[in-house]
């Protein structure tokens, strides 16, 4: 069988994929023109598929994506095809959950204020602090990332509530689990609201003016999912009006966040540049997922992390 990698990967990843099976002929190409020349003979691929590539992919049966979210990857012809698509679900969960707890701890201990005062050499101590064991963590989306966030919240002795789009069994460390239709209940009860949902047509601007008005005035919104899940204009207005206490934001509708955006100057906003998923083992984990799935494909077994393509269109 023939396996295409596009765009090309480094030597370490290439060697790992080449070692999977003698039955696999691996093609590692730099650009789409090279990929177009050979895609007609390819059985499986790792990387990015385009409409032009798909139109010529007569034998293609499986694509492994190099990412977890697929909103910029999917297009109608791919969704309608019989090709199996798998993603990188799970390799970022612990990194992102740690990032979320970083936001929560900074807000709880007033570090977002103390850091600004440090730059001013200001010794003032009048910063309110939050006792996390008295607070409720609301997790929107209890997938891999949301579950990791919920576990950490429970470990901090917080009450944990969550919503999920599909019915799942409630984990022991979650105090209440509701359908997404009860999002308003979560927003009204939570002291920290964390968006952990993927970007799909259903989650586009899921958090907008109406939802923000459901939150406590003392609550914080954290978004580590996708920028378009939160209506940034509505969030900015809510922060300016003091309708919520603050926000921890790693993702934005437009990235980079424009330098003149008012969020940069807000003391109660923590901004990170889409780095929540970063970690020392991410590259190794990505290789492990691809090689394991390639072995399964060669053996005629179902690959892991198969996604519902129609969910993304």
User: 127 CB contacts (<8 Å, ≥6 apart)?
Assistant: 110, 113, 114
Question: Which of these is catalytic: 37, 202, 255, 267?
Answer: 255
Q: Mark whether 255 is an active-site residue.
A: yes
Catalytic site includes residue 274? yes
Which tokens belong to 189? 């009860």
Token duo for residue 39? 């895609």
Distance CA 47, CA 17 (A): 13
Give all strands of the β-sheet with 176-179 in edge-to-edge order. Answer: 176-179, 159-164, 136-140, 192-195, 220-223, 246-249, 269-271
Nearest alpha carbon to residue 285 among 1, 67, 26: 67
Single out the catalytic residue among 99, 112, 159, 226. 226
Asked if 46 and 66 count as a contact pair (C-beta separation under 8 A), the reply is yes
Q: Which residues contact 222 (CB under 8 A, 6 or more apart)?
A: 100, 103, 104, 192, 193, 194, 195, 247, 248, 249
Q: Which residues pair with 5 in a beta bridge?
A: 28, 46
Q: Which of 274, 295, 296, 311 is catalytic?
A: 274
Cα gap 311→214, rounded to integer Å = 27
**Could you give phi then psi for residue 236, rounded to 5 degrees?**
-60, -45
| 159 in catalytic set | no
Whether the CB-CB separation of 204 and 231 falls below 8 Å is answered with: no
Q: What is the DSSP string of 121-156?
A: T----------GGG-EEEEE--SHHHHHHHHHHHHT
Q: Please say whether the beta carbons of 140 and 206 come within 8 A.
A: yes
Name the maximum alpha-carbon separation found in the chain.
68
- Residues annotated as part of the active site: 226, 255, 274
């Amino acid at each position: 069988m023939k396996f295409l990698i596009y765009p090309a990967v480094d030597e370490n990843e290439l060697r790992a994929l080449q070692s999977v099976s003698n039955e696999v002929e691996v093609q590692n190409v730099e650009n789409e023109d090279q990929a177009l020349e050979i895609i007609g003979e390819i059985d499986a691929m790792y990387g990015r598929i385009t409409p032009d590539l798909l139109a010529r992919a007569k034998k293609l049966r499986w694509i492994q994506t190099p990412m977890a979210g697929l909103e910029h990857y999917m297009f109608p012809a791919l969704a309608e095809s019989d090709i199996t698509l798998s993603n990188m679900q799970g390799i970022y969960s612990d990194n992102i959950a740690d990032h979320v707890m970083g936001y929560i701890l900074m807000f709880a201990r007033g570090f977002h204020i103390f850091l600004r005062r440090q730059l001013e050499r200001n010794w003032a101590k009048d910063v309110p602090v939050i006792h996390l064991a008295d607070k409720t963590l609301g997790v929107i989306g209890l997938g891999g990332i949301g579950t990791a966030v919920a576990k950490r919240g429970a470990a901090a002795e917080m009450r944990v509530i969550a919503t999920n789009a599909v019915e799942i069994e409630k984990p022991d460390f979650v105090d209440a689990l509701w359908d997404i239709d009860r999002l308003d209940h979560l927003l009204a009860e939570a002291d920290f609201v964390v968006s952990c949902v993927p970007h799909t047509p259903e989650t586009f601007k899921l958090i907008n003016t109406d939802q923000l008005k459901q939150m406590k005035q003392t609550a914080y919104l954290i978004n580590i999912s996708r920028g378009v899940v939160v209506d940034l204009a509505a969030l900015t207005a809510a922060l300016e009006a003091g309708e919520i206490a603050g926000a921890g934001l790693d993702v934005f509708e437009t990235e980079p966040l424009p330098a003149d955006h008012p969020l940069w100057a807000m003391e109660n906003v923590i901004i990170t540049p889409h780095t929540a998923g970063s970690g020392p083992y991410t590259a190794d984990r990505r290789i492990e997922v691809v090689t394991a799935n390639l072995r399964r494909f060669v053996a005629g077994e179902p690959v892991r992390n198969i996604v519902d393509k129609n969910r993304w269109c």
